[in-house]
């Protein structure tokens, strides 16, 4: 039986876990085992690669789990590689379309919900997804003539606990705002709890939205813009197996996104009506 190596920072995290589930679905159908190397479950003490590289038929690398030197180590094996939510020249990758998704979300919040004062909870600014979502969201709001002083950025790091602390600290400043947007849905979900703890009504006073989707987002009625993360894993696995079959693949495969409207966002007229009756 063949073996596929998946290299990630922390296999326990929801995004990574869901991607890996999609990978395993495709690999199992092909008769391959999936071995996972989780390098940074303790970020203060990251581990070196431990996969038996020579025994692997190919590799999937999630986000920024490996630096350039680590990727070069994989390339020296001569085995095919696909990157997931990360991009490097000359290595094929599968990435959610951050630009499309964040623009959709900004357009929705400005045009439909008529929000004008935004809190943005950033992802990890050392990862492609975090950097792109932050950059594109700011650009999209400027395109809507939202003044830069009406956008507050908070540290989130794709970590719900960090996001919660950042938002609690921000609320102590008593700055008026009408939307919270998070770079992933788990941070957005915890933001709902923090706002409600502070006596702020969602969505009547503040709309909340996030990037990505999962059972946690659905459970709290979170409005999101989402690419199918399970499909991200499937697509990456299919691309890797295509390389194993001899197909030369280059560049980026983009996964499309769509707005999923739920209870945490409403048009301004509906919110105004509910707060005045």
pLDDT, one tens digit per residue, over 163-196 is 999 999 999 999 999 999 999 999 999 999 999 9
Is residue 73's pLDDT more than 90? yes
Least-confidence region, from 151-155, 230-234, 242-246, 272-276: 272-276
Q: What is the mean pLDDT of residues 114-132?
A: 94
In this prediction, residue 228 carries a pLDDT of: 85
The answer to whether 116 and 177 have CB atoms below 8 angstroms apart is: no
Task: Tell me the torsion sign for CA atoms 62, 68, 69, 73.
Answer: positive
pLDDT, one tens digit per residue, over 26-61 is 999 999 999 999 999 888 899 999 999 999 999 999
Least-confidence region, from 4-8, 125-129, 148-152, 184-188: 125-129
- Which domains, from first to last, does the chain contain? 2-96+228-256 (3.40.50.2300), 98-226+260-275 (3.40.50.2300)
In this prediction, residue 131 carries a pLDDT of: 94
Backbone dihedral region for residue 193 (phi beyond 0: left; psi -120 to 50: alpha; all else: beta): alpha
Q: What is the separation of C-alpha 26 from the centre of its chain, rounded to a whole number of angstroms? A: 22
Is residue 202's pLDDT more than 60? yes
The answer to whether 160 and 186 have CB atoms below 8 angstroms apart is: yes
Mean pLDDT of the chain: 93
In this prediction, residue 277 carries a pLDDT of: 44
Considering the chain, what percentage of its residues have pLDDT values greater than 70? 97
């Amino acid at each position: 039986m063949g073996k596929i190596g998946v290299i990630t920072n922390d296999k326990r995290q929801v995004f990574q876990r869901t991607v890996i589930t999609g990978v395993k679905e495709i690999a199992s159908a092909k008769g391959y085992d999936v071995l996972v190397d989780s390098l940074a479950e303790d970020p203060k003490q990251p581990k070196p690669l431990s996969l038996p590289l020579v025994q692997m038929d190919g590799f999937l690398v999630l986000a920024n789990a490996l630096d350039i030197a680590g990727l070069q180590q994989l390339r020296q094996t001569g085995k095919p590689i696909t990157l997931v939510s990360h991009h490097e020249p000359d290595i094929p990758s599968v990435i959610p379309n951050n630009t499309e998704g964040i623009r959709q979300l900004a357009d929705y919040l400005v045009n439909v919900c008529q929000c004008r004062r935004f809190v943005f909870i950033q992802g990890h600014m050392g990862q492609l997804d975090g950097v792109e979502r932050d950059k594109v969201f700011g650009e999209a709001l400027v395109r809507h003539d939202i003044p830069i002083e009406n956008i507050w950025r908070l540290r989130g790091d794709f970590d719900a606990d960090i996001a919660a602390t950042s938002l609690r600290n921000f609320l102590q400043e008593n700055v008026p705002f009408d939307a919270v947007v998070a770079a992933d849905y788990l941070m957005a979900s915890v933001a709902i709890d923090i706002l409600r703890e502070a006596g702020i009504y969602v969505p009547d006073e503040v709309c909340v939205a996030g990037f990505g989707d999962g059972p946690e987002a659905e459970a709290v009625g979170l409005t999101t813009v989402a690419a199918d993360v399970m499909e991200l894993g499937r697509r990456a696995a299919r691309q890797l197996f295509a390389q194993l079959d001899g197909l030369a693949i280059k560049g980026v495969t983009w996964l499309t996104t769509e707005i999923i409207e739920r209870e945490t966002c409403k048009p301004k007229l509906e919110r105004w009506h509910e707060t005045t009756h």
